[in-house]
Amino acid sequence: MKRIALVALCLMVLGGFASAEWTWVKSIDCSNAVTDGGRLKDIQADSSGSLYFTTYFGSATRRIWKIANPITETTPTLAAFETPAADYNSSNAATLAINATGDVFLAMDTNDTATAWIKKYKSDGTLDTTFGSSGTLSPVVLNGTNHRPRSICFADSGSGKLLVATFSWPYYIGAVDALTGADGGALLATVGDSDDNGTATDIEVWNGLAYDPVENAIYGNAQADLMKATGTSASLSDLSTFDSITMLQSNTRLNTSANGLCFLPSENLIAYTALQGTASAIEIGVYSILTELQDMAGEPAGYDGYINSGGACTLFTQGSSVYVAVVSYYSNTLEIFADTSAVDNWSRY
């Protein structure tokens, strides 16, 4: 008990900024992708450990960029991914999802349910013309109604769904067929603890989604609260059957449009945009599905690994190492952290 009290006192002295458990490895300068005043938006990794990120704002053509060797190259090469460029001049969310075979889904919230869209690219960067109309699904129809997509994930359960969290009040998750874009039917209303009173029954958008086929569970980031939806008869063909939603990790509400959640099935890890510590410093929670414990990535201002707003994140592996890459919005960088120790929760108490 004395040790717990001592550590708690130390955390108080440190101003409540939790120490990071993941070690900063490197920054990747992405300013060449946003020379016109744009910013980095979302990030995802494919199964080979290549990184893909979207840009927004600025005056130039907005598109997807790919980094094939984020760890092994000292100064990684930024390569334009898709042909032709997605070309979405917009200040709104441009979010990514990637399936196991390297198909890249790009969702665009145009601020208008009639014109929002989702594009599907093959791994070579060309549109998959079997999806939607010639590769573009617009409008995004969920359970018969047009919606604005806020975050997406591929649900790899054999049914091949793309899950879509909406930014249309009240907030929902819907699904479309990942092959055709066809409406996937019934919706699930999403909740979180927006008023931070400990009860996660508030209507809240999920900025970030993942589906774990082993647990048949949907994870979501409810503006910094880590949520999990399951059901005794849960089926992706009727999302309303995911009727049990629990809050796994509770944090002070972080008002962000970052697509802040990812899932690494091989390691049973979830990473999500979790906390705003010292001024503008984002932290990433890395949650172990097996131990139900959480470690943190991200450092205070002035230190390597400072995440200066943003916070879109992705887990990936290179060799035997596990990494998390995070968008640092105001520095136009990706901050990379490595798991250098087993996930444990000791320092949290």
Closest CA to 88 of 69, 66, 112: 112
Residue 193 in contact with Ca ion, rule: CB under 5 A: yes
- For Ca ion, the closer CB: 83 or 199: 199
From the list 21-29, 181-189, 221-229, 328-336, the region that binds Ca ion by CB under 5 A is 221-229
Residue with Cβ nearer Ca ion (197 or 255):
197
Q: Should residue 197 be labelled a site residue for Ca ion when binding is judged by CB under 5 A? A: yes
Nearer to Ca ion, 197 or 266 (CB): 197
Distances, alpha carbon 211 to alpha carbons 35, 97, 270, 274, in Å: 35, 12, 10, 19
196 binds Ca ion (CB under 5 A): yes
Binding-site member from 225, 283, 295, 299 for Ca ion (CB under 5 A): 225
Of 90, 179, 253, 309, the one binding Ca ion by CB under 5 A: 253
Is 122 among the residues that bind Ca ion (CB under 5 A)? Answer: no
Of residues 199, 237, 291, 341, which one binds Ca ion by CB under 5 A? 199
Asked if 254 and 277 touch (Cβ cutoff 8 Å), the reply is no
Contact 283, 296 (CB under 8 A): yes
- Interface with Ca ion: number of residues (CB under 5 A): 8
Half-sphere exposure in the Cβ direction for 222 (13 Å, CA): 31
Q: Are 69 and 108 in contact (CB under 8 A)?
A: no
Residue 111 pairs with which residues in a beta bridge? none
Nearer to Ca ion, 264 or 271 (CB): 271
Peptide bond into 70 cis (omega under 30): no
Instruction: Considering only the stretches 5-13, 101-109, 251-259, 299-307, report the one whose residues sit in contact with Ca ion under the rule CB under 5 A.
Output: 251-259
Shortest Å distance, C-beta 35 to Ca ion? 37
The C-alpha atoms of residue 117 and residue 275 are separated, in whole angstroms, by: 30
Q: Which residues of 265-286 are buried (b: 16+ CB within 10 A; e: fewer)?
A: bebbbbbbbbbbbeeebbbbbb
Return the residue nearest Ca ion (CB atom): 193
- Binding residues (CB under 5 A) for Ca ion: these are 193, 195-197, 199, 202, 225, 253
